[in-house]
Chain A
Amino acid sequence: MPLTHGLKIHCDINGHPFPELGDAKPDVVVRLRTHDAPALTPDASPDITAQQLTFVIADVGHFRITRGARVDVWPADGVAPRDVLAYVTGGCIGAALLQRGAHLFHASSVVIGGKAFLVCGRSGAGKSTTVAHLAARGAATIGDDISTLDWSRGGALPWVLSGLPTTRLAPSALAALGREEAEGTPCAQGKRWVKAGPAFVNGSFPLAGIIALSARNVDAVSARQMPWAEALKVLCAQMYRRRWLGDQGSRSMFERNTLLAHNLPVWRVVRPNGTQTMTETAALIERLAHGVANHDSPIATTTMTAQPQEAHP
């Protein structure tokens, strides 16, 4: 049965993207509620305890996640189910995973040469678009926005668990990929919520590298492998909802991030602003990934550049 971040999720909301469970017992249940909404005003900070997290989004609804197993949703009057689902599939499932002790990154993930790579970066860095371009070049995708690391298998490095077969792309990114700009449904930041397509694969894959992507006022795409201390700083900054972690969770994730920074290549990839060089960005990441995937141990260090090409689709 396909899992979502390693979990079986039952959801009451019509149109949800989670795999159907049949008779299987769910790990997480998402329930729609109408009464007894939490007393949080829209401008309130999330209410966080060790076992429960409650947050409210103005004009969308109240959300409460308990013990990593239950998500209660009180939708606002007249809100579209897709707007509620955006928070269920994002913050709510993310919170449930954190309550279960999962190691999460705000990152998209891709499989190249049988190994998983995370693409992280601030909003607008182009994570989802880069992964979509990698998929167009033959890579498999395993998640968008939230990447879940599984350390339960032992060993020095974790595996990456597949998430949902959906992604959020700007209309311009869809067009650049030869897809309809109006594909899917609208979501935040003017993006479209679309199916990841046949490139998506369900499963788990050994983590082999992390790309910290940023868009700047530069002429060409470049990449360099970061020293461990810089890598650790980047990894800690890219944790999913770091402020939702308690002290114990923060310590545990810091220790895990330190292991990653020591044992994995973490690259800083800088691309020019705009979408004109996404093909070159994807090609450069593909080269970095193949360099690792084709070796038993991480490559020592790399500094690469790719010049923009004249013609783009």
Chain B
Amino acid sequence: MTQPDLSADTVIIRPDNVLVAETDGMTVLMSMDTGAFLELNETGGAIWAALDADQTLAQVQQSLMQTYDVSQAQCQEEVYAFVTDLLTRNLAQKA
């Protein structure tokens, strides 16, 4: 599968057709179109939450680094991997 082209300026949006349930530090996403289902751990849930404000990926990383003790390189790696997973499952879109 083709990897999405991501950069610091990329803005990722959460589509209206993705349903979300959150409890006990776990977030669950489901696509109404495809039925695709994804369970997020706390880190995934935090990245998902940070995608809520039409921020660039650079801004998303800054937001996460203010909360979590993580290096910039590791943060970028995790955010890009997570966003790539969301995009390939049609659970997120590039703006």
Contact = CB atoms under 8 A, between A and B. Distances in A.
A236 B23 contact: no
B37 interface: yes
B23 A262 contact: yes
Interface residues of B, number: 13
A290 interface: no
Nearest to B31: A250
B52 interface: no
B21 A247 contact: no
B26 A229 contact: yes
A237 interface: yes
Interface string A216-230: 000000000000111
B28 A250 contact: no
Interface of chain A: mostly helix, strand, loop or mixed: helix
A99 to B, nearest CB: 18
Contacts of B17: 247
A246 B24 CA distance: 29
A236 B35 contact: yes
B35 A251 contact: no
A172 B37 CA distance: 36
Contact of B37 (A233, A258, A262): A233
A229 B39 contact: yes
A259 to B, nearest CB: 10
A242 interface: yes
B50 interface: no
Contacts of B28: 229, 232-233
Interface in A175-233: 228-230, 232-233
Q: Which 10 A-B pairs have the closest CB atoms?
A: A254-B19, A258-B21, A250-B32, A233-B37, A229-B39, A229-B28, A229-B26, A232-B28, A236-B30, A232-B21
12 contacts: A228-B23, A229-B39, A232-B21, A233-B28, A233-B30, A236-B30, A247-B16, A250-B19, A250-B32, A251-B19, A254-B21, A254-B30
